[in-house]
Structure 1
C-alpha cells in the first residue's frame, strides 16, 4: 500500500517530491502523483505536505 494524495487539497507545490527518499512522488498538472511500486511508506511526504494532502 502506498500513500494517497487528496487531490482537492494538493496545490502541486512539490515539497513532497523533494522529501521523498525513494523518488516515488512527482508533480503533474499541478497535482502530486505517487508511484505505488516505488513508495516505501516512510511517511516523509505526509509530514512535509503543508496542506495535509497526503495520507497513508
Structure 2
C-alpha cells in the first residue's frame, strides 16, 4: 500500500521527496503528496520525515 501523508504533521520541507527513489513524492503548496501509482513501498520517506508525517497507510 502506498505511503500516506498526515497533512496536520507535514511541514512541506521536501525531505521525503528528495529521498524517494521512485519520484513518487512532490511538494505542492507546502504539503507533500504521494502518487500511489509510482510509490513502491520502500518506506524511505517514512524513515526520513523529521515530523513523522508519512505513514504506510
TM-score range, shorter chain: over 0.9
Note the 1:1-56 alignment, pairs <5 A. 1-56=1-56
**Where do 5+ consecutive residues of structure 1 fail to align?**
none
Find the aligned partners of 1:19 and 1:50 in 2 and give their Cα distance.
13
- With normalisation by structure 1, the TM-score equals 0.98
RMSD between superposed Cα atoms in Å: 0.4
Deviation for aligned residue 1:13: 0.1
- With normalisation by structure 2, the TM-score equals 0.97
Q: Tell me, what secondary structure is at the counterpart of 1:26?
A: strand
Q: Tell me, what secondary structure is at the counterpart of 2:39?
A: coil
Measured against aligned partners, the alpha-carbon deviations of 1:11-41 in whole angstroms (never above 9, x if no partner) come to 0000000000000000001000000000000
**Where do 5+ consecutive residues of structure 2 fail to align?**
none
